[in-house]
Amino acid sequence: MSQTKLCVENVSMMFPTPAGPFAALAPVTLAIPQGRFVSLIGPSGCGKSTIFNIIAGLLEPTGGRVLIDGMDATGTIGRVGYMLQKDLLLPWRTVLDNVILGMEIQAVPLRIARERALPLLQRYGLAGFEYLYPSSLSGGMRQRAALLRTLLFDTDLILLDEPFGALDAQTKLQMQEWLMRLWSDFGKTVLFVTHDVEEAIYLSDELHVMGTRPGRIIATIPVNLPRPRVRTSALTPEFLAIKERCLQLLDVNPTGSERVNEAA
Amino acid sequence: MTVHDGSTAGALAEIRFAEQTEGAKPGARAVRRLPVQKDWPLRALVAAQVGILIGVLSMWEIGARTGWIDAFFWSYPSAIAQTMAIFFTTGDAWTDISFTFRSTIFGFLLGTTTGSLLGLSFWWSRNYATIVQPYVICLESIPKLALAPLIILVFGIGLVSKVAVATALTLVVSTLTAYAGVKALDPDGEKLFYSLGATRMQVFRKLVVPFCLPWIISVLRVNIGLALTGAIVGEFIASQHGLGRAILYAGQTYDIALVWVAVLVLSTLAMVMYATVSWLEGMLRKGVRQ
């Protein structure tokens, strides 16, 4: 077992409401080893995004702490690459200048940042789009740019919050392949949030299934399917067994699981 | 009307059908086509526009000469043309135009800039924004022109007081619009910047300002009109120069032709400034890609 990259220790979150304190997150503990691809799945409102905001330092947890490389990083920003659901590309910047935003904020000289970004844009499917504005990009392309921006921020750990949630099914599959390629090229540690069970199994080394009220982790399932994975992996008994287990945990009617999953 | 089958759907269809055709035999439906407007050729349109202008002017001229229109109160085109020539050759035309132009432009620049900065400044602190907001709204609801006499008293009868009135009119509009931009900012955008470890100054410079620029630009055209209004009202109250003062002076001395001349010159000045600012707005919009 390799070294632990991220450790979430007993992190809990309470929000005050007029009806009394609301527990968004019961104490949650997670340990993510270096270089792994780990997914969180769960119904909406289970606190997936809350965990992400806490790890990224955008939200101060009510209790517990976040360790990155064994050092306390609770409430500090700029430690992890965080890609939110929306691509949030700045419409007044070209794709190239959007992608280097992280480096620019970290005071990397513009010329060097652009030099570093250009070959990556070309290698990862944005060749020819470098000097265009985001408004002329398709949804999949925008998502690629947003992901490259997160990668170029140059942190070992990246958080992806439902990056493909808004894409059509076809584009989504392409983007999953693309993400796998990036992940194996860069060797980053990825924490991925999705509510698409199949996507989570296909991409991950390990799944954490979450429950609601309060948000908590109800099961951790290792995914020991061989890599590189192909689409037909989804038809193997191992894959289907994991999928069934997840759907049961997520309280989806197992007999109707296929249809429910199509809709997800 | 007969109902062929007993089902409700059939009956409903029959009723709808009867409404549409109104007595026509079932199966036929009134033939309607998409209404199409035919555009006249451009030459014809321009000819119509010029024709109307010439028509109105000649009726005015004839009316005044034959006595249908009281030439003392309304003056008439040829007299106005003569006065115009005198105004530009021996009169104060250029001094007045320059005076009004300068007070408008200074007021426009000062009001738009300080207003936009004030609006943007509300991003920095929610507490500060909440405290100041009622005052800004109060200031908006005051008819600023009603304060003009006070402004003239404080700033004197020179250029400064006209600039001050023009500034008062434009400042609040710019403040509120820039603040509307700040409020429309997507909190997730700020989250992205902070997750990348940005400082507040970086978020302000790289996100807030470029995001609000289209809002700020969108009021430029409104503001140039307001600034001109402010300058003219300032001149009405007390001034030694300016087109507003020329109009007031001509009215008080019953020189109606001169009133018309000054109004015409003023309209031309307004149109030129409006066109320039519209052009500027277009250029800036292209510059910020929105």
Can you give the pLDDT at residue B13?
53
B177 and B264 inside one domain: yes
CA dihedral A50, A51, A56, A58 (to 10 degrees): 30
Which structural domain, as residue segments, surrounds residue B25?
A: 1-36
| Residues B149, B279 within the same domain | yes
Give the Cα separation of A56 and A44 in Å (integer).
Answer: 20
Question: CB–CB of A86 and B206 under 8 A?
Answer: no
Beta strands in chain A (DSSP E): 4-17, 20-33, 37-41, 63-68, 71-72, 81-83, 157-161, 189-194, 206-211, 216-222
A176-187: per-residue pLDDT in tens? 888 888 888 888
Contact B198 A56 (CB under 8 A): no
* Whole-number pLDDT of residue B45: 95
Distance CA A140, CA A146 (A): 10
Say what percent of chain B tops pLDDT 90.
Answer: 52
Taking each helix axis as running N to C, give the angle between helix B93-121 and helix B77-89, from 0 to 180 degrees, rounded to the nearest 10. Answer: 80
Interface residue B200 vs chain A (CB under 8 A): no
Q: Measured between alpha carbons, how far is A200 from A225 in angstroms, rounded to an integer?
A: 12
Same domain flag for B235 and B253: yes
Q: Cβ of A84 and B197 within 8 Å?
A: no
- Distance between CA atoms of residues B60 and B44, nearest Å: 24
A132 has pLDDT over 90? no
CA distance A14 to A120: 41
Q: Where are the domains of chain A?
A: 4-76+156-167+187-263, 81-154
What single letter denotes the amino acid at residue A193? Answer: V
B166 and B24, same structural domain? no
pLDDT in tens, A150-165: 888 878 888 998 888 8
Three-class secondary structure of residue B198 per DSSP: coil
Q: Which residue has the tokens 């009001």?
A: B111
> Given pLDDT bands bounded at 50, 70 and 90, which one contains residue A263?
very low
- Contact of A105 with chain B, judged by CB distance below 8 Å, is answered with yes
ipTM metric: 0.84
Contacts of A91 in chain B (CB under 8 A): 289-290
pLDDT tens digits, one per residue of B53-104: 999 999 999 999 998 989 888 899 999 999 999 988 887 889 999 999 999 9
C-beta atoms of A58 and B191 within 8 A: yes
The DSSP line for B20-72 is HHTTSPTT---------PPPPPHHHHHHHHHHHHHHHHHHHHHHHHHTSS-HH
Q: Which residues, at least 6 apart from A72, have a Cβ–Cβ distance to it below 8 Å?
A: A65, A66
B60 in a structural domain: yes
Residue range B29-47, pLDDT digits in tens: 888 889 988 899 999 999 9
B227: domain CATH number is 1.10.3720.10
Both tokens assigned to B251? 């009215």
By the 8 A CB rule, do A80 and B195 touch?
Answer: yes
Residue B23 sits in the same domain as residue B109: no
Q: Give the C-alpha separation, A262 to A129, whole Å.
A: 33
CB–CB contact B192 A82 (8 Å): yes
Kindly state whether residues B92 and B63 are assigned to the same domain: no
Residue B82 lies in a domain: no
| Nearest-CA distance A129 → chain B (Å) | 16
Predicted local confidence at residue A256, as pLDDT: 44
Touching check for A80 and chain B: CB below 8 Å?
Answer: yes
Q: Burial of A232 by CB count in 10 Å (0-12 exposed, 13-18 middle, 19+ buried)?
A: exposed
Residue A113 pLDDT level (bands cut at 50, 70, 90): confident
* Distance in Å, alpha carbon of B201 to nearest chain A alpha carbon: 11
d(CA B84, CA B196): 64
User: What chain A residue is nearest to B197 in terms of C-alpha separation?
Assistant: A78
Q: Are residues B21 and B104 in the same domain?
A: no
Statement to judge: residues B10 and B128 lie in one domain: no
My answer on whether B18 and B118 are in the same domain is no
Q: Are residues B151 and B230 in the same domain?
A: yes
- The 3-state DSSP class for residue A222 equals strand
Q: What is the pLDDT of residue B82?
A: 92
Please name the residue of chain B whose CA is at the shortest distance from the CA of residue A133: B289
Give the closest of A58, A90, A135 to B195, CB-based.
Answer: A58
Task: Tell me whether residue B80 is in a domain.
Answer: no
Residue B83 lies in a domain: no
Classify domain A4-76+156-167+187-263 by CATH number.
3.40.50.300
Q: Which residues of A touch B198 (CB under 8 A)?
A: 77-78, 105
Q: What is the mean pLDDT of residues A13-32?
A: 83
Distance from CA of B210 to the nearest CA of A (A): 7
* CB-based contact A84 B188, cutoff 8 Å: yes
B173 falls within a domain: yes
B81 domain-assigned: no
pLDDT one-digit tens code per residue, B115-141: 999 999 999 998 999 999 888 888 888
Give residue for tokens 């190239």: A96
Residues B53 and B115 reside in one and the same domain: no
Residue A193 in this model has a pLDDT that exceeds 60 = yes
Q: What is the pLDDT of residue A261?
A: 44
For residue B147, tell me if it sits in a domain: yes
Please compute the mean of the pLDDT values over residues B198-218 and round it to a whole number. 90
